[in-house]
Amino acid sequence: MKIPLLDLKAQYAPLRAEIRAAMDEVCDEQQFILGTRVQAFETHMAAYCGAPYAIGLSSGTDALLAALMALDIGPGDAVITSPFTFFATLGSIVRLGAFPLRGHWGQGWTLGSAEKVLSPPWVWCDI
Ligand SMILES: Cc1ncc(COP(=O)(O)O)c(C=O)c1O
């Protein structure tokens, strides 16, 4: 049996009508940048997360970059990430001049595990 990694058609099908209606509204209003929908999303997301603010961004890559920039990540920093992730994760870390460390941890992962990962010798990888 072939199991696809990602089946976008199957994900889209049950949401199609809702997505099409929302796209029609945006196109009818010609409000493509920020606007009331983004404000509503940010307000709803902040409330959902119990946070004072939420910011809508244009992509997952921008979200990763914004989070890393908020932490002042840059040259000389190492960022531990999962080896099972999209290439944008490593790309965002490298773009800021930091070094990505791919941690191979399991269920028993702790901050102590992170210290081990951060201790040399590191396993360098070309990306
Ligand atoms: C885990 C993960 N991070 C980042 C991204 C990048 O998101 P975007 O393509 O919206 O920049 C993706 C995209 O699939 C992702 O799966």
What pLDDT, in 10s, does the model give residues 54-95?
999 999 999 999 999 999 999 988 888 877 788 899 999 999
pLDDT at 67: 94
Q: Whose CA is nearest to atom 9 of ligand 1?
A: 60
Domain boundaries, the chain: 15-49, 60-118
CA distance 21 to 93: 37
CA 7 to ligand 1 centroid distance, Å: 15
Query: Average pLDDT for residues 22-46, to the nearest whole number?
Result: 92
| Interval 3-14 mean pLDDT | 91
Instruction: Measure 61 CA to ligand 1 centroid, in angstroms.
Output: 6
For 52, 71, 90, 98, 100, the CA distances from 68, given in Å and listed in that order, are: 19, 5, 11, 10, 12
Give the global pTM. 0.72
Q: Residues lining ligand 1, judged by CB closer than 6 Å? A: 59-61, 64, 85-86, 88-89
Of 55, 35, 34, nearest to 44 by C-alpha is: 55
The pLDDT value given to residue 101 = 83
112: pLDDT strictly greater than 80: no
pLDDT-derived band at 126, boundaries 50, 70, 90: very low
Q: How far is the CA of 64 from the centre of ligand 1 (A)?
A: 9
**How far, in Å, from the CA of 94 to the mean position of ligand 1?**
15
Model confidence over 97-111: pLDDT tens digits? 998 887 766 666 676
Report percent pLDDT > 90 for the chain: 56
The helix or strand, by DSSP H or E, that contains position 101, with its residue range, turns out to be strand 99-102
pLDDT of 34: 86
Eight-state DSSP code of residue 14: G
| Confidence (pLDDT) at 127 | 43
